[in-house]
A and B are shown apart, each in its own frame.
Chain A
């Protein structure tokens, strides 16, 4: 209470005590004011801009890093401030709040600018020119020479202040700690930028690598050795147990608006969707489709074979509609024919065909299998397409910038095609990518022709192990397309080896069949909602991946409640050095793996490729300095801003009690 009454007196005392933090004389007329501080800092920024423009032109062709130079420039400014600060006249100014406040204000202003202007890597020559914004490096402000100069000047002022002697108090000790901590943080960050490295490592399960990719400022990707190898043994995406809800969104606005959210399993809740034209909903948390098959003596042309498996519930149906085979979840190494003659013809035809090509081009909706070196007519035109090269795992070589094969595995299949006209004149050439059907990097002819490339894992008759012939109730064992034996099957008994896990359940020459929706379990393994819209006879389905458009502006979405369902990404990495396994560890978000100065952070995954895991690889020799700075800063702040005032209050209260007594 006395401290409150003496507040005015205390304030004067504080100013006196802290006078040494400022210039001994705060007489504005004797010292440069804050305006001078702003001018000096502004000039430093402009000098930085001029220097950076000069440096970029010099280093661009050398591939140098302007970010490193920016840090060096900032350090140079810091040293210059220290040197200048030893002169008494400048020392007083540089260690005063009349310099500190403009420095703080400038860093604040530049930070705000950095959030108002989209930041890009503008330091490379050839980066997009945004006029004065690029000229002043405002679109990469945090890595600009000017910003480094301002920070360097501020750091110089802090260092000069710390060098001054003070009367020891708790607040002073805290202030020293806090400011020293800042210097350590800046020093550690500088070391990290100058000496550290950051890159990426992308692996599929089973893959190893002893190098990682680093992207330079000009977009060039270089590979750097790790000095040891890393293998991705396993990768899992763990999901939350999820309840799902049906949501109606209005997508006519710039930002989608949720109009309704209902529990799809609740009949009452679902009634709310009638307002949006949804009449009925059948919800399947674990959806599957089952065949309903009945023997038919009418005009059906489809024969059916039903097998019971020890490994899955329900009957596996195979159909022969006499024009081709139709299999549903059937073993891939077995085919079903009703008539023996057709089975014989199939064997005959495919023995001669050999292995089919995995390269399939779709041109105007028609598919053709192609081979490297082959030339093919383009339907509907007089042009021809020549396949010049095929790569299983396309990548651009870092030095030659030429396409090359990274591995034999079809991770990124690509083929190079050349389009020629009737007179053999080349009209265009380019690469087509199986994983990126919309991209072909080619203008003119390819884009007009709408050619897409698919890669299909090669199949051949040699992969077939049996034919089942319905009319004879026989299983024909095959090896390399030749019939080894024909074995009679019996209903209710397991098939012959190697298919003994399958039991013959049904065999019909003609059937009526229909698919029906069933729920395999109560777990949301494969959620699907079947909806019927007002005025439509046909039912439509909605899944988490496939929303349903209700109208121009409204969509129906089946989405997990609680947003993102991913609970964790877990990679199992093994590190090997000098041929020996050194360690195995799991890497998750917030739990990196560290080895020999490198840290691997779980950073990326691909929903459509569950075997892929991406890592951020970081080596930061300045990290310990930064952490030391964080601890010093936090301790200093606690001392100066929390502990010191409390101690002061306690002292004042004790003094008051003593005084009162």
Chain B
């Protein structure tokens, strides 16, 4: 079963990589079919990715969200879903390249994990809070991945982008700031709800809703950085590159919170560190 899952992972990686290529082509030349291929390939990768996750869920008999490998697979799904929602809502493919690159990178890191086997859920994770907490948090992370892509593009090319021929923008003029802001707000909302669910769950499990655990604290740090973004947004002279840079910093906090906990000297005090 692990072999089959690895094959499915590679297939989804292939689809994501091809979509990445197509989204990249959109920046160089625009034809009628390339944008459709780009979205279709991304969706195909998403479908295979979801099928692999569901199959692992059924096989393991438990939600596949415990190990780093499983969480990376989930993250790739969330990034693809969030980006496709952005594409549909805004009718813009400008964030297709950074988002598909993110999916490829995440799946590659998952494929490199030594431990891909199912790990039994310890008693603390056997809770009704487990699924909503993880899923909401990862969709929040995914939104911030998309926001990071928008911030990077904005820092490279801050002026509004207009394309005359169908392709990236289907004839529209798009402000990257708008996409960036929308993705950040969506991400912050989900991070907030995920954080609150985590606190309620901790109370049920351990009797304490907040223990200043390093992972909890860094989740708070990430949230605070993006809360600062929301407040600075209303100081007009902060709009633009400064805010985009803050989003890049916030994304760094997201990555560190997700993957960097074992680097902390206080890692031993945390129940959230991936082994």
CB of B221 within 8 A of CB of A618, answer no
B203 adjacent to chain A (CB < 8 Å) = yes
Minimum CB distance partner of A637 in chain B: B192
Q: Which of these, A112, A118, A603, contacts B221 with CB under 8 Å?
A: A112
User: Which residues of B sit under 8 angstroms from A4, Cβ to Cβ?
Assistant: 90, 92, 172-175, 178
User: Which residues of A sit under 8 angstroms from B123, Cβ to Cβ?
Assistant: 566-569, 588-590, 602
Q: Which of A367-375, A408-416, A443-451, A557-565 contacts B (4 or more CB under 8 A)?
A: A557-565
Q: Which of these, B114, B225, B265, contacts A116 with CB under 8 Å?
A: B265
Contacts A115-B264, A118-B265, A118-B266: A630 and B218 contacting too (C-beta < 8 A)? no
A574 adjacent to chain B (CB < 8 Å) = no
Q: Which of these, A1, A112, A561, A627, contacts B200 with CB under 8 Å?
A: A627
CA A112 to CA B260, docked complex, whole Å: 13
User: Which residues of B sit under 8 angstroms from A634, Cβ to Cβ?
Assistant: 192-193, 196
CA A641 to CA B126, docked complex, whole Å: 31
CB of B218 within 8 A of CB of A115, answer yes
Contacts A601-B206, A616-B206, A638-B193: A567 and B175 contacting too (C-beta < 8 A)? no
User: Residues of B within 8 Å of A, CB-based: how many?
Assistant: 60
A599 adjacent to chain B (CB < 8 Å) = yes
B31 adjacent to chain A (CB < 8 Å) = no
User: Which residues of B sit under 8 angstroms from A133, Cβ to Cβ?
Assistant: none
Q: Which of B3-11, B49-57, B231-239 contacts A (4 or more CB under 8 A)?
A: B231-239
B209 adjacent to chain A (CB < 8 Å) = yes
User: Which residues of A sit under 8 angstroms from B120, Cβ to Cβ?
Assistant: 240, 562-565, 567
Q: Which of these, B91, B119, B207, B235, contacts A22 with CB under 8 Å?
A: B235
CA A486 to CA B208, docked complex, whole Å: 66
User: Which residues of A sit under 8 angstroms from B212, Cβ to Cβ?
Assistant: 114, 119, 142
A55 adjacent to chain B (CB < 8 Å) = no
CB-CB contacts below 8 Å: B122-160 with A = 122-124, 126-127, 129
User: Could you show 7 A-B contacts with beta carbons less than 8 Å apart?
Assistant: A111-B221, A118-B269, A567-B120, A589-B205, A590-B127, A590-B129, A602-B123
Q: Which of B89, B92, B235 has the most chain A CB within a 10 Å cutoff?
A: B235
A29 adjacent to chain B (CB < 8 Å) = no
Q: Which of A97-105, A312-320, A418-426, A467-475 contacts B (4 or more CB under 8 A)?
A: A97-105
User: Which residues of A sit under 8 angstroms from B208, Cβ to Cβ?
Assistant: 198, 618
CB of B264 within 8 A of CB of A108, answer no
CB of B175 within 8 A of CB of A107, answer no
CB of B228 within 8 A of CB of A108, answer yes
B204 adjacent to chain A (CB < 8 Å) = yes
Min distance, Cβ A559 to any Cβ of chain B, angstroms = 12
User: Which residues of A sit under 8 angstroms from B205, Cβ to Cβ?
Assistant: 589-590, 601
Q: Is the interface of A mostly helix, strand, loop or mixed?
A: helix
B220 adjacent to chain A (CB < 8 Å) = yes
Minimum CB distance partner of B192 in chain A: A637
User: Residues of A within 8 Å of B, CB-based: how many?
Assistant: 67
CA A617 to CA B203, docked complex, whole Å: 12
Contacts A7-B177, A589-B126, A642-B189: A630 and B196 contacting too (C-beta < 8 A)? yes
User: Which residues of A sit under 8 angstroms from B129, Cβ to Cβ?
Assistant: 590
CB of B118 within 8 A of CB of A100, answer no
B227 adjacent to chain A (CB < 8 Å) = yes
A340 adjacent to chain B (CB < 8 Å) = no
A18 adjacent to chain B (CB < 8 Å) = yes
A49 adjacent to chain B (CB < 8 Å) = no
Min distance, Cβ B82 to any Cβ of chain A, angstroms = 13
CB-CB contacts below 8 Å: B100-132 with A = 114, 117-120, 122-124, 126-127, 129
CB-CB contacts below 8 Å: A1-51 with B = 1, 3-5, 7-8, 11, 14-15, 18, 21-22, 26
CA A562 to CA B2, docked complex, whole Å: 13
Min distance, Cβ B103 to any Cβ of chain A, angstroms = 24
Q: Which of A4, A21, A645 has the most chain B CB within a 10 Å cutoff?
A: A4
Q: Which of B13-21, B72-80, B180-188 contacts A (4 or more CB under 8 A)?
A: B180-188
CA A240 to CA B119, docked complex, whole Å: 11
Query: Which 3 residue pairs are nearest across A and B when measured between Cβ atoms?
Result: A589-B123, A641-B189, A618-B207
CA A565 to CA B265, docked complex, whole Å: 28
B224 adjacent to chain A (CB < 8 Å) = yes
Q: Which of these, A26, A564, A601, A618, contacts B236 with CB under 8 Å?
A: A26
Min distance, Cβ B193 to any Cβ of chain A, angstroms = 5
A466 adjacent to chain B (CB < 8 Å) = no
CB of B119 within 8 A of CB of A563, answer yes
Contacts A114-B217, A561-B117: A592 and B207 contacting too (C-beta < 8 A)? yes
Minimum CB distance partner of B60 in chain A: A562
CB of B264 within 8 A of CB of A5, answer no
New contact pairs (7) apart from A4-B90, A119-B269, A633-B192, CB-CB < 8 Å:
A107-B224, A111-B220, A567-B120, A569-B123, A601-B206, A603-B206, A630-B200
Min distance, Cβ A522 to any Cβ of chain B, angstroms = 20
User: Which residues of B sit under 8 angstroms from A21, Cβ to Cβ?
Assistant: 234
B48 adjacent to chain A (CB < 8 Å) = no
Can you list, as one digit per residue, whether each of B232-273 has a CB less than 8 Å from chain A (1) or not (0)? 101110010000000000000000000000001110010000
A623 adjacent to chain B (CB < 8 Å) = yes
CB of A562 within 8 A of CB of B221, answer no
Can you list, as one digit per residue, whether each of A599-622 has a CB less than 8 Å from chain B (1) or not (0)? 101110000000000001010000
B210 adjacent to chain A (CB < 8 Å) = yes
User: Which residues of A sit under 8 angstroms from B118, Cβ to Cβ?
Assistant: 562
A189 adjacent to chain B (CB < 8 Å) = yes
CB of B126 within 8 A of CB of A119, answer no
B44 adjacent to chain A (CB < 8 Å) = no
User: Which residues of A sit under 8 angstroms from B167, Cβ to Cβ?
Assistant: none
CA A111 to CA B266, docked complex, whole Å: 13
